[in-house]
Every structure is written in structure tokens, then in C-alpha cells.
Structure 1
Amino acid sequence: MDERLLVERLKEGDESAFRIIVDTWQNMVYNTVLGIVQQAEDAEDITQDVFVQVYQSIHSFKGDAKFSTWLYRIAVTKSLDHERKKKRKKRFGFIRSLFGEDNEVVIHPPDFNHPGVALDKKEKAAALFHAINLLPENQRIAFVLNKVEGLSYQEVSDVMETSVSSVESLLHRAKSNLRKHLEEEK
């Protein structure tokens, strides 16, 4: 079914259109979110939040960009908000440990499982995604959207609301930084 027709039907309150939207784009949203937050449980929760926001905010969708671009923006924004909250909690926990309320803060790296990664390559994928997580935010988003999700430079620039040349630059720097991080871990 045509994107525009689905959006119009959802704006009119058609719940079957919402079900079609969720069925059509839930894997894309989940994989995008998982590429950023790297925790399956968190990715599931954020994916659900993305679709709740789509349902609640559909009237703000003007159609200037493709619906999928708007959806990627929501997914990226929700993922980054989640990461920022998580960092604030870690800092708070560390500060509390300095004052003796906790004996110590121990952060174990999570087991990383992405549906697109074969079992025999999990260790290499975990190292790669750890290195991706060390990238500056804009480089990380550009890299995940382009290399993990397969979006074109133009689509990434639409999602990130920046120029194609900026995306090219971000990807170049991301690859360079990834090489450096991965060589340091050897």
C-alpha cells in the first residue's frame, strides 16, 4: 500500500493503517535502534516508544520527506535520548560510589546480539559495535544508518538533516576512527 495513503488513513484514525505501518517498518526501526543502543531489551522498548510517538504525532507529519525518513528520525532521536539518560545514570552511580553509598560500580560490557550477525562472527561483531559506540554521536549515527541499515548518503542526509557532503565527511572520519579503535584493541 502507498505510504501517503497509509499516512492519510492513520490521520483519519484508521487503526488498521497503524497495524500495517507497524508490520511494515518494525524490523527497520528495531534494527536501527539496536545498532545505536546495542541492547536487545532496550531496543524493543524504544521501538515500541517510536510507534507510540508515530501514532500520537502523525498529524505533525507534513509529507515534506518520505514517511520512512520521518520514522528514522524518530528512531534515532529516541535512541540517542535513551543513551543520554543511561550516561546520566552511570555518572550519578559513579558519584554516589565516591561518597560511599555503594562500595563500587561495576559495569560489565553487555553480550551483544544483533539479528544480522551470524553466530561465528559474534565476537568480531561485538568488538566492532563496541568501537562504533566509542564514535562521536554524529559519526555513529551516520555509520549505523549507512553501513548497518544500508541507507544511501542522500537518505542519511535526509534523516540527519544535513548535507550529503557532511555525511560523506562523517563517514570518512567514522571509518578512520573505527580503524584506530579496532587496532588499539588487538
Structure 2
Amino acid sequence: MQESELIAALKAGRESAFRMLVETYQDKVYHIALVIVQQPQEAEDIAQEVFIEVYQTVRQFREEARLTTWLYRITTSKALAHHRKRKAQKRFSILTSLFGLNNEVLHHPPDFHHPGVSLEQNEEMKMLFKAIDKLADTQKVAFILHYIDEQSHREIAEVMEVSVSAVESLLHRAKQNLRKQLTPYYKERSNP
């Protein structure tokens, strides 16, 4: 089914079209959310929220961008909002634990494991994902969409609603920041 036919079927409220959309894009949506929030259950919740929003708002989709662009825009927006909310809650829990309310467990995030990472790479990937998490949101989204989801600069520009040169700049700064963060880790590993 062509994208235009899928959009028309979605706008007509056909359940089969919505099922096809979910089956086609659920893994991509989940993996983008997972890299941003780094918690599998939260990424699953976000993926569900994304498809619910698409179902509820597809009639307002103006088709000025591709359907996938719109879907990724919703995904990154929701994932970043969840991530910011969790960070704010984490900061609050750290502050409250300082005052003796015993919330210490809340500020020790669980180990993050991405489903596509082998056991041997797990240590390195943990460090990479921690470093990605420290990037500015715009750098994080550009980096994830390009290096993890393998989207072109043009596709990322559409998702982020910026120019291609802005995407190139974000990717350059993201790589520089990751290099700064990860260099000590790799020096330490090469000099035991």
C-alpha cells in the first residue's frame, strides 16, 4: 500500500490501516523512544501514546511532510517530554532524600540494556548511552535519528523542523561532546 493510500485509509478510520501502521512502525518508534528514555517499560508506554495520538489526530494531518516524519516527530517529542519529567522527578527525589525521606533508591537509575546490543558490547554501550543522555535534547535527537535509526540529514531536518545545515551542525557538536565525555573512559580501558 502506498503512503498516500495508507493516509487516506487512516483518515477514513479503517482499522486495518491502523493495524498496518502499527505493525510497520512499532519497532522503530519503540527503539527511538528507548534510546531517549533508556527504560524499556517507559519506551513501550511512549510507543503506545504515539500510536494513540496518531489514531486520534490523523484527520488533522496536513500531509506537508511524510507520514514517517510526522510519526518520528511525535515519538521524539513524547520521549523527550517523558525524559524531562523523569529528570525533574529524579532531581526532586535527590533533594527530598537529602532531607531524610528515604528516597535514595530513586536516584540510582537502573542499568540500561538495549535489545540490539550483545553482551560483549554491553559495557561500552552503557557508557555510550549515558553519554548520549547528557547531550542537549536537539543534539540527542539528531544523533539518535542519524546514527541509530540511520536517517539522512534531510529526513532528520524534516522531523526536527530545522535546516539540513542545522542538522549537520547538531551532529558535529554531538560528536564533539561525546568524544569529550568518552575519551577518559577509553583511555582508562586501554591503560589498565
Q: TM-score range by the shorter chain?
A: over 0.9
Per-residue CA shift, 1:12-49, capped at 9, x if unaligned? Answer: 11111100000011011011111111111111111111
In the TM superposition, structure 1's runs of 4+ consecutive aligned residues that sit over 3 Å from their partners are 103-106
Query: TM-score normalised to the size of structure 2?
Result: 0.92
- C-alpha deviation, 1:106, in angstroms: 5.4
Q: Show structure 1 runs of 5+ residues with no match.
A: none
The residue aligned with 1:64 is 64
Contact 1:34 1:43 in 2 (8 A): yes
Report the count of equivalent residues.
Answer: 186
Indicate how the Cα distance of structure 1 residues 103 and 177 shifts in structure 2: closer, same or farther if over 3 A, else same.
closer
- C-alpha deviation, 1:105, in angstroms: 5.5
Per-residue CA shift, 1:90-134, capped at 9, x if unaligned? Answer: 122123223333374552242222122222211111111111111
The residue aligned with 2:2 is 2
Q: Show structure 2 runs of 5+ residues with no match.
A: none
The residue aligned with 2:28 is 28
Distance 1:101 1:109 in 2: 18
Higher RCO (CA-CA < 8 Å; seq separation 6+): 1
Whether 1:128 aligns to 2:116 is: no
Indicate how the Cα distance of structure 1 residues 51 and 90 shifts in structure 2: closer, same or farther if over 3 A, else same.
same
Contact 1:94 1:105 in 2 (8 A): no
Distance 1:35 1:97 in 2: 28
Q: Which amino acid aligns with 1:88?
A: A
- C-alpha deviation, 1:147, in angstroms: 0.3
Query: TM-score normalised to the size of structure 1?
Result: 0.94
The residue aligned with 1:38 is 38
Q: Which amino acid aligns with 2:140?
A: R
Contact 1:112 1:122 in 2 (8 A): no
Equivalent pairs: percent with the same residue?
52
- SS for the counterpart of 1:120 is coil
Indicate how the Cα distance of structure 1 residues 143 and 103 shifts in structure 2: closer, same or farther if over 3 A, else same.
closer
Distance 1:41 1:103 in 2: 21
